[in-house]
Chain A
Amino acid sequence: MGFERLQDLEVKVLGSYRLRTVLEEADVRQLRVGDVAYLSGAVFTMRDMAHLRALELLRRGEKLPFELKGGVIYHCGPLIKGDVVVSAGPTTSMRMERSEPDLIGFTGLRGIIGKGGMGNGTREALKKHGAVYLEYPGGAGALAARSAKRILGVYWKDLGEPEAVWVIEVADFGPCFVTMDSNGETLRKKGKA
């Protein structure tokens, strides 16, 4: 089961959920701004360069070497030593704003984790395609890495370690705060980060 409502978390929020990848559209559409999620399963780290390369392939009609349908991407350049994730908090999501709407449209990803909020293009794409944007507290990289259980794979290492796509298995990764939902609602008004 990909979706479970948690009853008794001490966190005072709208709702707390436990999510497991792969996510279904119907599940994601229940999430609202203000909800808190704890995620288990696979996340794909993708930042500036991975977005550019993915779109370059997708626009040419080619496939990605990994499957993002129903998946969750993480705006993160992890600090890795050998096969250990040492520190892995989110990076500023706004840098990916120019690429994100198309990536959502092409791939059918269901979740994006980052920090600092995103723009109107992403807001529209989340609404249209049924996906959600969540934020993990920025800079809390050491704690975030505690939720990383193992590295499942790595793609595009030639982009450099921070820009590569690391597939990381996480367990109860959170709190991830929903700040943009699939109804077009955002935590930060005025349509900016």
Chain B
Amino acid sequence: MNALANGVGDIVRFENVGMRYRLGAEVLHDVSFSLPAGSFHFLTGPSGAGKSSLMRLMYLAHRPSRGSISMFGRDVSTVPRTELAALRRRIGVVFQDFRLIDHLSALDNVALPLRVAGAKEGQIRNHVAELLKWVGLESQIDDKPTTLSGGEQQRVAIARAVIARPQILLADEPTGNVDDDIAIRLMYLLEELNKIGTTVVVATHNESLIERFKHPCFHVEDGLLSGPGVGVRNDRDPGGDQ
């Protein structure tokens, strides 16, 4: 179909994207790739390579300094500000540093995307409690993030990212603070979301996860992206410090 050939079926499409922070040097150069709807990708690369920066572009936190980005088939540079908020609601993000709100309980943190989207309060609590139970935090529902362990915070962050059923889930090191058992459990959660149609990108250093869950893998190094559909396929790089 012509539409697919044009990349309309792609949820994310980058063309020759460059990125810099303020007036600094470029941290990403000539990044071109696309993610078909419903795909599952890993994103690897050494520390400081630009994984989180690439994520930032995808969750619409940052404008590219050159090139073009399309999300859900829309050229981001032409989307009016008010509609950007609506686009962001279709994107779930697990931030590398969680970014939970300290004065809100786990429940209220997870409820945020629903509130922001204007969901009715009556529907929020049960829905959120159910998801927190799913990630194994049913007894910490009313706890503040500061009283949770790193791994528990990470699970709250994941729950918050998926609560509103995003079309694409961007998880930046979502298993960085948990032991392998929980990491695998969380990966199964992400896979389950993927099975019901969510496009997933997981940035990770965890080689065993990449090996266990056989998904295509992008690699960033020195601000350059390689991977499926990006020039020569670069099967996973040992990545050094694992």
Q: Do A and B come from one complex?
A: no
Residues of B within 8 A of A (CB): none
Residues of A within 8 A of B (CB): none
